[in-house]
Each structure stands twice: as C-alpha cells, then as structure tokens.
Chains A and B, each alone.
Chain A
Amino acid sequence: MNIVVCVKQVPDTSDPDTEVHIDSTGRGVDESKFSFVINDADNYAVEEAIRLKEKHGGEVTVVNIGPEGANQVIRMALAKGGNSAIRLFDEKFAFSDIVATARILHSAIKDLSYDIVMTGCMASDDGFAAVGVTLAQMLGIPHAAMVKHVEVIDEKKLKVGRELEGGLMEMLEIEIPCLLTIQTGINEPRYASFKGIREASKKEIKLMDLSAAGLGDDMVGEAGSVAVMKQYSVPEVGELAEMLEGDAGETSTKLAQILKEKGLV
C-alpha cells in the first residue's frame, strides 16, 4: 500500500501571539510574527498514512509546496515514518489558487506509484477545502472528502467513513487508487521519536521548481489561476462584545456580578 500525503505549512492561528495583519500590498499578510506549524488536518493525514503502511506495508511519500522553512514540517513527517519527500517551490507559484495549487501537486504526484493519495480536508489559512478533490480529478481517480474512518477491504477496495454535519457518518466503498481528504480527529497523531528525528535529518528532500515540475509560467501563480484573491480587507464586524476591563481580579468580579444580576448563579 503506497501512500502519498500532502502537507502544508501554515501559521499557528491557535497561538494568541500570531497576529494576522494585511501587508502594504493588500494581497499578503505580515508574516514576521507568525509561528509556523503543520496544517492540523495534514497532521492527521500523515498519521493515517503511516498507520496504513505499518499494517499493510508499502511506502509513504510526503509532498509539499512551500519555501525552505517548510522543510521543518516535512522532516517531522519523515521522522514519524515517512519514507521520502518532495518539496516544490518557485517564486512563480505565488498567488496560486485551488486549481494552480492542485496542478503543482499533480506534476509531482502523477509520476509516483501510489494506491492512496491523502490530503487534509482543509487548510486553516485559506480554508478552501478543495485542493484534494481538485487534485483527484486531475489524477483521474475517485475521491472521498472529509474522511474520518479508513479500512482496507482488499488490494482493490477501501471502506471509508465521511463525517457529515451533526457527526453523522456516511460509509462508502471506494476503488483503489483513490484520493482521501482526511478530517481531524480520525486518529491520535504520534510524536516523533528522537531516533526518527535523527534519521529524518539525514534523508534527502527532493526539490522541484517550475521547470523540474514540467510546468509553464502560465500554468501556475496568478496566470495559471481561475479565481484570484485580489485584495484582503479587515472584515466589518457588527456589534462587538462589551469588554470587561481590568486585571483578572477586576474582570472576574465584574463577570460574577453580571451573572448574579441576570440570575445565572
């Protein structure tokens, strides 16, 4: 069972110190205060890929589009049990939309031997929840999105569960090769061992730029995109909460008072 897993590096928006500010171009954000992490769903996808490999044999290939800094998330996936990795990067990739991103991933994955391609169900920065399904169509393989259960029936078929609204699961059978977009919570991601980390630091990460990917200028970036983000803006918000000011002693006193007045304590 050979598996390709796509991992994206994203800013850690769960860290209160990661401030998102629009930069002077209006089309980018100031990254100086970002700490970067693996996209949440991709972390679960890596774990699922490694578990399937451990149970059924085969190899796991990690694929990323990102700058050199992304090596950090790639190495962590290798340390956990990934066998090899490809990182695609070119200045020309900037402003790629769903289609251009999927096309770049496709250029590297199409020549690999795989039974399952996995992506996360959604990237936390752009929130498209679409690159995986788009990539599946480019590869010409069936797909299932928002997968929270994977079971191998035989070499030709998987049984998978898609998590729907309200926590309902849709169970289905899908032919191999296929692409699954993995939902968070499908497993409990492991931590990398020291030995794993040491070995991963020695593994080669294959680099591919525009020409190595066999792509042209007009196939990536803004030129290769069908829906381009032109301008960021600060959302207009309705009425904000009434903020309770002061130190923790004061705010907690005020809150306890409010709850008491409203008969909630």
Chain B
Amino acid sequence: MAEVFVLAEHRQGELREVSLELLTLASDLGDKVTAVLLGSGTDEFANRCANFADRVLYVDDVMFSNFNASAYQAALSELIKKEKPKTVLIGNTVQGVDLIGSLGVELDVPFTTDAIAIQMEGDKPAVTRQYYGGKINGAVEFKDSEMYLIGVREAAAPAGEGGKSGEIVKVENPVTVEITARRFLEYVEAQVGEVDITQSATLVSVGRGIREDKNIPMMEELAGLLGADLSASRAVVDAGWLPQDRQVGISGKTVKPKLYLAVGISGAFQHVTGMKGSELVVAINKDPDAPIFQYADYGIVDDLFKVVPALIEKLKETKG
C-alpha cells in the first residue's frame, strides 16, 4: 500500500490552506493519506485535517507552538523513518523551504522543490516545475528509491471538499532532547502604511521595467488620472522606489481592485498570487512572452516609456 504523508502547516492559531490543498492532491498519489500535525493544543486542526485524510499523526507538544525548522526536522525524520511512507509532501512555503533540503539530506531520499504538478508513473511520482521565472516548464525524474520528498507550490491545485473522517492518532513527541541550535523568539507584523492597497478600487502597479525611481512621478501622474493608487512588485520595493506597504504578492498584499494595470511587471507567480483576483487586468510589457499576459484581460506589447506618456495624453483629452 502506498502511503502519502502531508505535513500540515499552521501559524498564529490558523491552519494554513496549503495543508488542505496538499491533502487533496495526496489522494491522487497513493491509497492512504496521512496528515502529520506538529502542534500544541491544536486539536481543532487535527479534526480539520481528519476531514481530508485517512489518518492524522498528531504530536501535541509545546515544542511545536511555533515553527522551528530544527525541531520540525528532528520530529519529522523520526516519524518518517518509523512509518516509511512512499511519498512525503511539504508545502513549498517559507516554512517548507526551511525544511525540505535538510530533511532530504538527513533521510537520504530523492527530493525536489516547487512542484506545480505531480504525475504518477507506476508507483513513482514525477514532477513538473517551472524554470526561468515561469517561461518554461521542466519534467523532473527521480532516481529509484523507497521514498520521495516533494515540495509543492502553494495554490498549485485547489483544496477539495474533504469528506473523509480519518483516525486521529496522538503520538508521543519523538524529540526528547532540547533543541538549542535555533530558538523561536517572536513574530513582528509588517508595517502599516498610509494607503491600504487592499481597499483600492483601481491600482496602477509598477515593476522593475520602469528602471529608475525618477520614473515614479510619471506613474503617479497616470495613477492620478485614473483615480488609482500606486502598487508595486517586490523588485520595486526592494530597490526602495516605493514603500513596502505597496507590495503586491505572496510576501506583500493580496489585492482585488476593479482595475489592475501592471506596467513593466513580468508576472512571477509570487506576484500573481497577490493580484489574480482582480476584476480587470491590463498589462503593459515589452516582452511578448512575459507570464503576466497569461493573467491579463488586455495586453500591450511595447515599450512602457512610449505607451505610458501616450496614455497620459489620451486620458487628459478624455477628461477634457
């Protein structure tokens, strides 16, 4: 029987959606789905996982109140060595990427990260991943092994309805020593800025394509004419051209405006995750192969330094 382990992910009192996505996906990869929950006083999460799993292995220990890669790795490697699942799925989240490589080396099993799809070839999983910022896909083949470890991209496949009622098995914490190499201290919330872009009806969003911060005023002028707020990709925020509270994406904000006008943004999935719920998306990019066009309703393939000034003129005329 092929068993699939899924690591449940939770933070600050919430079970993260990726856990349910992976449990749903796991049903296609094996005939027994086991959720592994490392938590503390998280019975409610165990119950939710049981809805999507045939079994929940639940370690309830204060050691797991907050994520700590060293503690997680120590517990997971013990559980995996004992139970010997065929496949282990971990969300390719900031938590997951802190774990997958080191766990893979410790267990000495084939692994890869950021799978966007998994196909079974016989009893062996094969993985599809993206390369070059999503411009091409690659098919990844594992070396034959008793076990495989896969990091799966968040929101790659939707969570289903559940409908299972797996057994919840409480297991003793296999980690009996104190973890000293790394200690969790606290969470620090992102700073709140003066504009809340999650509430904006219209966003003009700026990417690295604008090249220099001296081009921001041109974008401000465009935003002004559209009654829009300015948002940005991470590249623009990293460069210090706009403040962090303007960042759209997985490590920024999730926005749902009526109009999202993406200018000089390539459309990396970390960005798209934050804006794909927008009602109307328009993209201006010089590269016809930019992934952003896959998420846009209207596209203009041209130099933004030609299109934006022309658009500003047109909008001024329209407004009279």
Q: Which residues of A are interface residues toward B (Cβ below 8 A)?
A: 11, 13-14, 16, 19-20, 22, 29, 40, 44, 97-99, 102, 121, 124-138, 142-146, 159, 161-175, 178, 184-185, 188, 225-235, 237-238, 240-244, 247-249, 251-253, 255-256, 258-260, 262, 264-265
Contact = CB atoms under 8 A, between A and B. Distances in A.
A171 B136 contact: no
B175 to A, nearest CB: 15
Nearest to B202: A264
A262 B258 CA distance: 10
A167 B311 contact: no
Interface residues of B, number: 103
9 contacts: A19-B289, A29-B132, A29-B136, A121-B97, A162-B94, A171-B184, A171-B185, A226-B104, A230-B139
B297 A241 contact: yes
B181 A252 contact: no
A130 B253 CA distance: 25
Given A164-B11, A166-B190, A241 B298 contact: yes
B299 A162 contact: no
B105 A137 contact: yes
B319 interface: yes
Interface in B87-122: 92-95, 97-102, 104-106, 109-114
Most buried by A among B101, B139, B285: B101
Interface stretch (B36-44, B166-174, B234-242): B234-242
B226 A230 contact: no
Nearest to A134: B101
B97 A240 contact: no
Interface stretch (B23-31, B55-63, B140-148, B157-165): B140-148
A139 B98 CA distance: 16
Contacts of A102: 101, 105
A126 B141 CA distance: 15
B152 interface: no
A255 B280 CA distance: 12
B112 A170 contact: no
Interface string B284-312: 01110110011011111111001101110
Contact of B315 (A97, A235, A256): A256
B310 to A, nearest CB: 4
Given A11-B132, A185-B238, A143 B139 contact: no
Contacts of B66: 170
A214 B184 CA distance: 37
B182 A264 contact: no
Given A163-B251, A252-B307, A143 B102 contact: yes
Given A133-B97, A133-B98, A174 B182 contact: yes
Given A166-B252, A255-B300, A144 B151 contact: no
Contact of B132 (A13, A98, A178): A13
B259 A165 contact: no
Given A125-B131, A227-B142, A251-B300, A137 B311 contact: no
Interface stretch (B45-53, B67-75, B212-220): B67-75
Nearest to A103: B105
B176 interface: no
A259 B105 CA distance: 53
Residue from A136, A172, A226 whose CB has the most chain B CB atoms within 10 Å: A226
A134 B102 contact: yes
Contacts of A244: 298-300
Nearest to B295: A241
- Which among A227, A231, A259 has the greatest number of chain B C-beta atoms within 10 A? A227
B251 A165 contact: yes
Contacts of B130: 127, 235
B138 A229 contact: yes
A125 B268 CA distance: 12
Given A133-B97, A169-B188, A227-B140, A262 B280 contact: yes
B271 interface: no
B85 to A, nearest CB: 17
A65 B188 CA distance: 36
Contact of A134 (B105, B134, B189): B105
Interface in B205-239: 208-209, 225-227, 234-235, 237-238
A173 B297 CA distance: 46
A133 B102 contact: yes
B105 A138 contact: yes
B114 A127 contact: yes
